[in-house]
Chains A and B, each alone.
Chain A
C-alpha cells in the first residue's frame, strides 16, 4: 500500500513545481471541506496533497487600484470579519455566508468553492454577478479569466495540469450599484442549493437600471450567466413588469435535471421566484448606495 504524501509549500513557485512534477494523482487542499469529505467517501484517492494555505498571495485580502483582491484560500470567516470588504460586497457575502455552518466557514475558501466546480456552489453566482475575475498561475505563467470560465461541468474545471487559482479580483462598480444572492434549500442551513440566484445591477441618476448581470446556480451543469434576464432589467425601473420578465427569462434559461434534490419543473419555477426576490434586494441596496 502506498501512503498519501502531504506537502505545504510556502511560495507560489514551489506549489506550482510540486503540482507540475507530480506523477500520480494530485489534489490541491485549501480548507479541505470538500477534499476531506471526498477522501472519506472514497471519491478521490490522491497520491499527493498540496496544501496552499501557507502561501502569502493566497491568504491576503487587500484593496487595490480599481477594486478588491482576495486570496483564493482566504476562509469564509476571514471575509466575514473584514468589515470594509463586507460593506463593499454584500452580494458576494450573501453567498459566502451561506456556505455550511460557522465551523465549515472557518475553513472553507472561495477558491475551493469555485474550483470544486459544483453547479450549486453558493459563492459562485454572486461572484459572477459582481464581475469577478480569477488570477491563475501554472507552469506556463499567469493568466486572468472571468470566474464563469473556471467551472465547465460538475467537478470539472478549465484549469490545466499544474494550475491553481491564486486570487479573485472584484472590480469597483459605479455608484448606484447593488448586488445580492439567495438560494432555495429545503432546510434553513447545512443544505445544498436547489436553485441559487446572484444579481448585480446599477441604477442611473434617473432610477433607471443601466447595467445588470444575472447568474443562476444549480439549474444546469454549471452556473449560468443569463443575458436575457439581465436585459429584462436594463432600461427599466425594476418595476413589476420588469420583474415578471426577469422571472420568465430566468426560468426559461434553466436546463436542470430531475434528481433527489428537486424536480426539473420545481427548479425552473423557483428560479423565477428567487430571481424576482433577489432583484428586489439588489435594487434596495443600489438605492441605498450600497453595492
Chain B
C-alpha cells in the first residue's frame, strides 16, 4: 500500500493442483538448530581482527540548537582513532524515496542519523567515536563538549498541532491544504481520502456514533538491538554487515547519504533478531562506515537497549476521531475518520499506508478520511507491523461494537451485514478482488470459543483487521548443484518468519524433489539484483513468486539439456516428478533423466544450470482476519487478564502452516502488549522515562494465554499458489478486541491507550458513582 503497483508487474495465475510439499509442516526447519544452539550469527556476533568499537553521543535534550561541538579532548584520548560529527557527512537536499512501507526524505535521513542544526529528540545522535575498546569509546564521549541552546519542546500530537506550539522546523508549511498556509506549522501534511458524499451519508443515518481515541507511541520491541560492522577500504569500497530487513535498501540509503556509487557499497544482512518494520532505516551503518574511513580500521557498533528505545523508530502515538452513521438495521451509511499522527522529529508517519485500511473491511458508499502528519520532539517513527493500523482499528472496531450494542445486533452479524467482498469499492481506489473476510466472520460465528462460559467480571470481545500485501522488486537465483540438490539464493530477508523454509518448499514442489534437497540461502547485495525490503507482508508472498519463476526457468534449462542428450527438440521434453521425460511415446524410448543426472552432465551439454527471477511482483492478495478474545478484569486493581484468544485469518494458502500460525501468535502477542501496557513515557523535559524492558512492558509468556488459530484459505488469484501476506493483519484487531472485551466484562469503554491497570481502575471509579446513581 502507499506505493503504486507497477503496470509492468509480474503475476502468475492461481492454479489448483495436488501439492506434495506446499501446505505441509516439514520437521527440519532450516534455521532451527543453529538458533536453538546459539550458533546462528546475528550482526553483534560478527567480529573481524583489528576492529574498533564505535559509540554514539546522544542529545540529552528534547529540542536544542547545537551551537558548537568541541571534539578536541576526545580526539586526544589514547586509544581513540576517530571522532565524527555532522561535518563528516554531506548535507542532503529534499529527495524522497521508499524505505520499506514508508517514504523517506534524504534531507531528513541524514539529519536523523546525525543531528545538524538542531537536536530534535532525547537520544538524537550528535557525534560518534571509534576507539580500541568500549570503555575508551565511552570515556571519549564524555570528553566531547556540545554547546546546546535548549529550546521549548513538544511531545504530544494534539499539543504539537496548536498554533502556538514550539516549532520543530520554521520552514515547514502544511502541505495538502488550500489555500497554502502562510504560517509554518508542525503539521507537515494533510491527506484526504474520499468516497461518495459524506454529508448525505450521515443524513441517511438513524444512529451516529462519534468517539475520540488516544494512543501512545509503542516500539516494535525486537529482542536484537541494532548492530553493524563496517569496513571501508583504501580503494574506496565499503562493506557492511548489519541487522536489517532490507540490505538493498540500506545500500541505497548509504550510497545516497555518503555520496558513493551503489556498486561500491556491499551490505550483508546478518541473521535477524526481529525487525517488525523497525529495521528498514540506516542508523549505525553510515556512522560505522565513516568512522572506519577516518580510522582506517573496521568499526563495530551495537546499540544498547536504551539507545534502541530512545533513538530507533517506534510507531506513532495518535489522536483519532471516528464517526460512523448507520440505519436502524445496522447498514453503515457514512463513515469518517480524523487521524492525527505523530511522525516524530521529521515528517513521514505511516498515514499514507494506513489511511487506506481505515474502513476497508466494510462496504460503505460514503467515506471521508483526513490524516494529519505531525512532527514533535520524538525519534522519527518507523514502520511497525501494519504501520498505524492497530490504532485505527481500536477506534473503528470499538465504535462498531458500540453501534451493535445500541441497535441490539450481534457484533459478528453487524460486520457481516456490512462486510466487504469481491467487487466492493474501496475508499482508496481499487475494487477488491476475491477476499476471505466473510469466511473469517462465518468461521468465528460457529467457533467453540463462543461456547466457553464467562464468569462475573469476564467479558468477550471481537474485532477484525485488513492489510494489503506488497509486491515490488524481487530477484532470486536458483542454482542446480552437481549432485542434484538446489541452492535458492534469495534477496528478501528472512525476518525470522520462516521464509527460507517456505521458499525451499516452493522450489521443492516446482522441481519435484524432496524439501531436504533444497537449501535457501540469504544473499548479500552483490549476489543478486535489487530487491525491495521485506515489508508489507511481502516476504513469502512476493519471494515465492520469484522462487516459482526461477524454478520454472531452471526447468526449461534442464529440459534443454535432456533434449541435447537425447538429440531431440526441447519442446519434446517435459518435466515431471523431478525428472525430464519424453513428452510422448513418439519422441522416443528414453529412460527419464533425474535432476542429479542432468546436473552432472549439464557442464558438457551447455553449462551449469541456474534459474533466475528479476521481477516486480504485483497482484498481492489482501488479508483479512477476525479475532475473538475473553478477558477478566480485577475491579479492585484494574488489571486485565487475557483468558482466551482465537485468531481466524485468510492466508490464501498457508505454505508452512505452523509458521503461519506463528505469525498469528506473534502479532497477537505484540497487540496484547500494546493494548495493555506498552507506551512511551516522557517527563516534563521531553526525556523518555522508560527506555528499557523493565518499564517498557512487553508481555512475558505468562501474560499470554494459549492462542487458538484457524487458517482460512481463499486463494489469491494472482499468485500461482494463491498466497496472501499474513504477517501484519493479526496485529490490527487486538487493541479493539481487548477494549470490547473489557466493556463486556465491566461496562467501561476504554478509549485511551494503553489499557493499563491505573487507567482501567480510574475508568471503573469514574463509572461507579454513575452506576450507583442509576
Contacts and interface: CB of A to CB of B under 8 A. Distances in A.
Interface of A: 1, 40-42, 184, 186-192, 194, 259-263, 265-266, 269-270, 273
Given A1-B79, A261-B695, A186 B681 contact: no
B537 to A, nearest CB: 29
Given A41-B306, A260-B689, A261-B695, A186 B639 contact: yes
Contact of B702 (A188, A266, A269): A188
A41 B304 CA distance: 9
A178 to B, nearest CB: 22
Given A1-B139, A192-B694, A263-B758, A273 B636 contact: yes
B697 A42 contact: no
B480 to A, nearest CB: 47
B699 interface: yes
Interface string B735-764: 000000000000000000000111001100
A187 B703 contact: yes
B263 interface: no
9 contacts: A186-B757, A187-B699, A191-B697, A260-B681, A261-B695, A262-B758, A263-B758, A265-B762, A270-B761
Contacts of B690: 260
Given A260-B681, A260-B690, A188 B703 contact: yes
Given A260-B695, A266-B761, A187 B700 contact: yes
B676 interface: yes
Nearest to B677: A186
Given A1-B79, A273-B636, A266 B758 contact: yes
Interface string B688-708: 011000110101101100000
Contacts of A273: 636-637
The 3 residue pairs across chains A and B that have the minimum distance between CB atoms: A266-B758, A188-B702, A273-B636
A266 B703 contact: no
Contacts of B689: 259-260
B305 to A, nearest CB: 9
A266 B757 contact: yes
A269 B761 contact: yes
Given A1-B79, A260-B690, A186 B697 contact: yes
B-side interface size class: 20 to 34
A265 B766 CA distance: 13
A190 B699 CA distance: 10
A182 B388 CA distance: 38
A186 B636 contact: no
Given A42-B138, A260-B689, A260-B695, A187 B758 contact: no
B136 interface: yes
A191 B700 CA distance: 10
A242 to B, nearest CB: 18
A261 to B, nearest CB: 7
B702 A189 contact: yes
Given A186-B676, A273-B636, A1 B135 contact: yes
A17 B133 CA distance: 32
Contacts of A263: 758
A269 B677 CA distance: 19
Interface in B91-142: 133, 135-136, 138-139
Contacts of A188: 700, 702-703
B700 A189 contact: yes
A108 B326 CA distance: 59
Contacts of A194: 757
A72 to B, nearest CB: 24
Given A1-B136, A260-B681, A187 B697 contact: yes
Contacts of A41: 306
A268 to B, nearest CB: 11
B412 to A, nearest CB: 30
B695 A187 contact: no
A53 B79 CA distance: 35
Nearest to B136: A1
Contacts of B677: 186-187
Contacts of A184: 637, 639, 757
Interface string B445-460: 0000000000000000
A40 B304 CA distance: 9
Contact of B700 (A40, A190, A261, A269): A190
A186 B702 contact: no
Contacts of B135: 1
A262 B695 CA distance: 11
A270 B637 contact: yes
B58 to A, nearest CB: 13
A38 to B, nearest CB: 12
Nearest to B78: A1
Contacts of A269: 761
B585 to A, nearest CB: 68
Chain A CB within 10 Å — which of B133, B756, B757 has the most?
A: B757
Contacts of B639: 184, 186
Nearest to B688: A260
Given A184-B637, A273-B637, 6 more contacts: A41-B306, A184-B639, A186-B676, A187-B677, A266-B757, A266-B758
Contacts of A42: 138
Contacts of B758: 262-263, 266
Contacts of B702: 188-189
A177 to B, nearest CB: 27
Contacts of B138: 42
Contacts of A189: 700, 702-703
Contacts of A1: 79, 133, 135-136, 139
Nearest to B132: A1
Contacts of B676: 186
A41 B305 CA distance: 10
Interface in B125-170: 133, 135-136, 138-139
B381 to A, nearest CB: 21
Contacts of B757: 184, 186, 194, 266
A196 to B, nearest CB: 13
Interface in B482-504: none
A79 to B, nearest CB: 22
Contacts of B699: 187
Contacts of B79: 1
A266 B637 CA distance: 8
Contacts of B637: 184, 270, 273
B52 to A, nearest CB: 15
Nearest to B634: A273
Contacts of B700: 187-190
Contacts of A187: 677, 697, 699-700, 703
Contacts of A40: 304
Nearest to A190: B700
Contacts of A260: 681, 689-690, 695
Contacts of B756: 186
B361 to A, nearest CB: 31
Interface string B669-685: 00000001100010000
A97 B758 CA distance: 25
A25 B467 CA distance: 56
Which of A41, A189, A266 is most buried by chain B, counting CB atoms within 10 A of its CB? A266
Nearest to B138: A42
Nearest to B681: A260
A275 to B, nearest CB: 11
A247 B135 CA distance: 50
Contacts of B638: 266
A266 B765 CA distance: 11
B724 to A, nearest CB: 34
A186 B700 CA distance: 11
A259 B758 CA distance: 12
A194 B304 CA distance: 26
A273 B637 CA distance: 8
Nearest to A195: B637
A42 B702 CA distance: 31
A92 B703 CA distance: 25
Nearest to B682: A260
A273 to B, nearest CB: 4
